[in-house]
Amino acid sequence: MTLKDSRDLYDRALSVLPGGVNSPVRASIQPYPFFVERGDGGHVIDADGNRYIDWVMGLGPLLLGHDLPQQVQSAIQKQASAGPMYGAPTEIEVELAEFVSRHVPSVEKVRFVNSGTEATVSAVRLARGYTGREKIVVMQGGYHGAQESTLVEGGPESPSPSTKGVPQSFAEHTIPVPFNDTEAIERVFEERGEEIAGVLVEPILANKGIVSPVDGYHETLRKLTREHGSLLVFDEVITGFRVGGLACAQGKFDVTPDVTTFGKIVGGGFPVGAIGGRAEIIESFTPSGDVFQAGTFSGHPVTMAAGLKTLKYAAENDVYDHVNDLGEQLRSGLTDICADQAPEYTVAGTDSIFKVLFTRETPVEGESHCEAGCEQRTDCARYTRCPKTGADVGNTEIERWNRLLWPAMFDQGVFLSQNGFESQFVSDSHTEEDVEQTLEAYKHAL
């Protein structure tokens, strides 16, 4: 690939943007990121005119891909040309809230915000305000955005900030536990149950992943939080309106959280976040309650129009069948390629998300029981070694991602997630041909 214009743009960017980017993962690509000129269906075209099959899809929001259907495009344009925003309520935000409440099992009321981070910040404040308690349980390797309460690492007894800038005294209100470890969470509730405001969990670890829940794990979280008067908060920023279709991952797993955070798809490609849940809890936000929450851009009409029209389009067309079918083709094709060429590697994901993990152990012949809840190939010996925790994923040969796999795929015109931990996403614009070309490229790269 020739990337002269991208390199020039990156040079310019470095002198005015820290690290040359506005979000760090974008600079993971070595020696410099490519700059995008435009999207086209399931592809992106860079500043030098090179075309790539795009499995990043804006890091998840683009359920429909880059070519928005005409009705979605015109709703966005109509809203933008009516003046972008007002600081006063509009009908479209009520309509999107009605749609979300109708389709997501646990949601009766919604507050819209402007990013996934803002959603989880507000959900944590809500859990604390509603319960009058301070501690938040999170999963090691889980990600809930760039916020103080969750940029915390370590174990339940030794939480510490995972970045400079977060005081140790903040981290001490967070209790990180390993995902999928029933004993660990039971112990934490036994010892400190009455201090815990809520458990904040991605239904599937999708940022240090992909890690599916083992059977019964979310049910355990539901039972413990209920018994101890804590809130169960599902962070569905990635899984929302992707895994489990319009009912989200909570519908797929049949677990009803008290509160759910959303982002990404619910804004149809524009900045968004949302906090939904039981009316009585969500009513705790100001002005109906006394947990302060506010935002100039919240419920932005252009975002609301994009989100509503995207979800309606998905509801009225076979979008989820298409993306899940291509997701299954990718996972099963990759499983065959790995079996042949890299038997120690694991293919992870469900619905329209997928990833190859560089696990180190070749599965043992005859061990064929799959503990993880990923649907595919449950009879396959490979899945006995599926990572069960964020640490399992951290222990893979991750250095191979940026050094070897990513560039080898990129050279063949395939854009994979910029680091080895983030999920990859299928959109409605992707085709079987994109899948075939991608599998061919993996065959060469692996």
Cis peptide before 161 (omega within 30 of 0): no
Could you tell me the smallest distance in angstroms from the CB atom of residue 56 to ligand PMP? 12
* Residue 442 annotated among the catalytic residues of the structure: no
Element holding 6 (H helix, E strand) = helix 4-16
* Amino acid (one-letter) located at 206: A
Neighbour count for residue 344 (Cβ, 10 Å): 16
* Residue 264 annotated among the catalytic residues of the structure: yes
Among 232, 238, 326, 338, binds ligand PMP (CB under 6 A): 238
Cis peptide before 31 (omega within 30 of 0): yes
The phi and psi torsions of 397 (rounded to 5 degrees) equal -80, 65
259 binds ligand PMP (CB under 6 A): no
Residue number, 234 or 383, with CB nearest to ligand PMP? 234
* Residue 392 annotated among the catalytic residues of the structure: no
Residue number, 236 or 345, with CB nearest to ligand PMP? 236
In this chain, which residue has its C-beta nearest to ligand PMP?
Answer: 116
* Binding segment toward ligand PMP, per CB under 6 A, in 110-118, 317-325, 328-336, 424-432: 110-118
Q: Which residues face 152 on adjacent strands?
A: 161
Could you tell me the smallest distance in angstroms from the CB atom of residue 301 to ligand PMP? 19
Residue number, 145 or 349, with CB nearest to ligand PMP? 145
- What is the DSSP secondary-structure string of 374-407? --TTTT-GGGGG---SHHHHHTS-THHIIIIIHH
Could you tell me the smallest distance in angstroms from the CB atom of residue 119 to ligand PMP? 7
> What is the Cα–Cα distance from 364 to 272, expressed in whole angstroms?
45
Pairing label, strands 51-54, 414-415:
parallel
204 binds ligand PMP (CB under 6 A): no
Measured on CA atoms in the order 311, 317, 321, 326, is the torsion positive or negative? negative
52 binds ligand PMP (CB under 6 A): no
Among 33, 39, 65, 116, binds ligand PMP (CB under 6 A): 116
- What is the DSSP secondary-structure string of 406-425? HHHHHHTTEE--SSTTS-EE
- If you compute the radius of gyration of the chain from its CA atoms, what whole number of angstroms results? 21
> What is the Cα–Cα distance from 124 to 128, expressed in whole angstroms?
6
Among 125, 144, 242, 385, binds ligand PMP (CB under 6 A): 144
Site string for ligand PMP, 316-355 (x = CB under 6 A): ----------------------------------------
237 binds ligand PMP (CB under 6 A): yes
208 binds ligand PMP (CB under 6 A): no
Catalytic residue among 109, 208, 252, 264: 264
Tell me the catalytic residues: 143, 235, 264
Binding site for ligand PMP (CB under 6 A): 59, 115-117, 120, 143-145, 202, 206-207, 235, 237-238, 263
